[in-house]
Amino acid sequence: MSIESNRTLLLSQGYEAIQIISWQRAVTLLALAKVEVVDEYETQIHAVSMTMQIPSIVRLRKSFPRRQKAVKFSRVNIYARDGYRCQYCGDKCTTDELTYDHVIPRSKGGLTNWENIVSACYLCNRDKANRTPNEARMKLLSTPVRPTWMPAVQISVSTRSMPDAWRDYVYWTSEIDNPEGGAD
3 contacts 160 by C-beta, under 8 angstroms: no
Weakest-pLDDT range from 4-8, 93-97, 108-112, 157-161: 157-161
Domain ranges of the chain: 3-64+152-177, 70-149
What pLDDT digit, counting tens, does each position of 11-50 carry?
Answer: 988 888 888 899 999 999 999 999 999 999 988 888 888 8
Confidence of residue 177 (pLDDT cuts 50, 70, 90): very low
CA distance 9 to 108: 49
CATH level 2 (architecture), domain 70-149: Orthogonal Bundle (1.10)
34 or 155, greater pLDDT: 34
CA distance 70 to 114: 12
pTM of the predicted model, to two decimals? Answer: 0.51
What pLDDT digit, counting tens, does each position of 116-154 carry?
Answer: 999 999 999 999 999 999 999 999 999 999 988 765 555
The Cβ-side half-sphere exposure at 49, using a 13 Å CA radius, reads: 0
The Cα-based distances of 103 to 5, 85, 109, 112 in angstroms read 46, 15, 11, 10
